[in-house]
Amino acid sequence: MQLVELIPSLTTSPETLDRMRSWVTETLGKKPIDATDRAGFVVNSLLVPYLLSAIRMYEAGYASAADIDRGMVLGCGHPMGPLALSDLIGLDTIKAIGKSMYDEFKEPLYSPPPLLDRMVDAGLMGKKSGQGFYGYDK
């Protein structure tokens, strides 16, 4: 991934932030964006509610995992669907991020759905465990 989110604390000096931006760009060859210090930063604040919505949709029986994913790939041009992406990231990781964001903001869209809780409790973590919304060879 090319992106690095730069997150200064309340006490980070502009000089320190400039040094980090240079290091990220020149040493790591990455592209930084600036965000404030809050749960989720930029990417996860947008991505995690999307992934959790797809899990809720699957849980409610709207469509199969494959059809939900195919809909976003073919209908929105995403490189992979939200359930396959959740499996790739790790269902335990998605749950932890959602919980952290819910704890900070108390927004229902960040709350992990019951199916995700049950899957993680059962050890179904996605690709890393060999089973999530899809099966994987380990």
- pLDDT for 34-54, tens place per residue? 999 999 999 999 999 999 999
In the chain, residues under CATH classification 1.10.1040.10 are: 43-121
- H helix or E strand, kind and range, residue 17: helix 14-22
Residue 133: predicted pLDDT: 98
* Residue 71, pLDDT above cutoff 80: yes
Q: What is the mean pLDDT of residues 6-29?
A: 97
Any idea which fold 43-121 has?
N-(1-d-carboxylethyl)-l-norvaline Dehydrogenase; domain 2 (1.10.1040)
DSSP for 83-128, written as a single string: HHHHHHH-HHHHHHHHHHHHHHH--GGGSPPHHHHHHHHTT--BTT
